[in-house]
Structure 1
Amino acid sequence: MKMAHTCVRVKDLEASVTFYKEAFNFEESRRRDFPENKFTLVYLTLPGDDYELELTYNYDHPGYELGDGYGHIAIATEDLEALHAKHKAAGFNVTELKHLPNVPPSYYFIIDPDGYKVEVIREK
């Protein structure tokens, strides 16, 4: 077995696709539209990776309540500081670099258009 995808429900499909492409260089691998059922699925992948982020857009849905139980997805990068600087310069909503106790800074969070947190971690 292996992980296949993670689903994120979005209120503005094109804004979310643009965010993930601009912030992380995701590529759209496929799109499935079901107008009779009023939803669209867009699958995004990172270059060289077959794991997918599924963006689910339900027509006529004004948005979603994240609640206090929502976790996050995490994306690893070789150059954490450079990507953090790029995200800040682009005007994305990002936190400062963070760290666990007794560990140098190793992650930060960026917020997508729907308020989902994406953790960006230093690749091991």
Structure 2
Amino acid sequence: MKQQLVEICLRVRDLEATLDFYTDLFDFEVASRREFPENKFDLVYLNSPGSSVQIELTYNYDAEPYNVGDGFSHLGVTVGDLEKMHEICKASSYETGELRGLSGGTPTYFFVTDPDGYRIEVKRAK
């Protein structure tokens, strides 16, 4: 049976700050937004151009702060110009790691952290 990954859900504390991160820093676009005030939550679906996988941002109105946990590691995105994106992220208010390469090799990635503590691995597109 064939399967296809279609979405990844992230629970967020500050929906607007998280939207700014994914739409301003990266080129994600809001695909849809649904508000459920009677159930005290909102859903926002983000598309990344060139990908069929969406990120579902779930904002629960009365939730306690979330723990990212030690089982989850990161999401990954690719960019055409790694060094330029690294400079953009470093100039932002978001925690940005240094450029790295596997086993000390040529730099091919870095990490940036979103407002909720989720790490995004930014990789050089192949």
TM-score over 0.5 for the pair: yes
- Point out where structure 2 has 5 or more consecutive residues left out of the alignment: none
The offset of 1:29, in angstroms, is 0.3
Rounded to whole Å, the distance in 2 between the matches of 1:35 and 1:20 is 24
Aligned to 2:79: 77
Q: Does 1:94 align with 2:96?
A: yes
Corresponding residue SS for 1:9: strand
Which residue identity is paired with 2:121?
A: E
Deviates more, 1:83-92 or 1:20-29: 83-92
Corresponding residue SS for 1:101: helix
2:101/2:108 contact within 8 Å kept: yes
Aligned to 1:23: 25
Q: Does 1:10 align with 2:12?
A: yes
The offset of 1:88, in angstroms, is 0.9
Q: Does 1:106 align with 2:80?
A: no
Which residue identity is paired with 1:52?
A: Q
Q: Deviations over 1:26-75 (max 9, x none)?
A: 11000121122111110011224332111010111131011211121100
TM-score by length of 2: 0.92
- Point out where structure 1 has 5 or more consecutive residues left out of the alignment: none
Runs of 4+ in 1 over 6 A off after TM superposition: none
Aligned to 1:33: 35
Aligned CA-pair RMSD: 1.2
The offset of 1:102, in angstroms, is 5.2
Aligned to 2:119: 117
Rounded to whole Å, the distance in 2 between the matches of 1:2 and 1:84 is 30
Rounded to whole Å, the distance in 2 between the matches of 1:102 and 1:18 is 33
Identity, % of aligned pairs? 48
TM-score by length of 1: 0.93
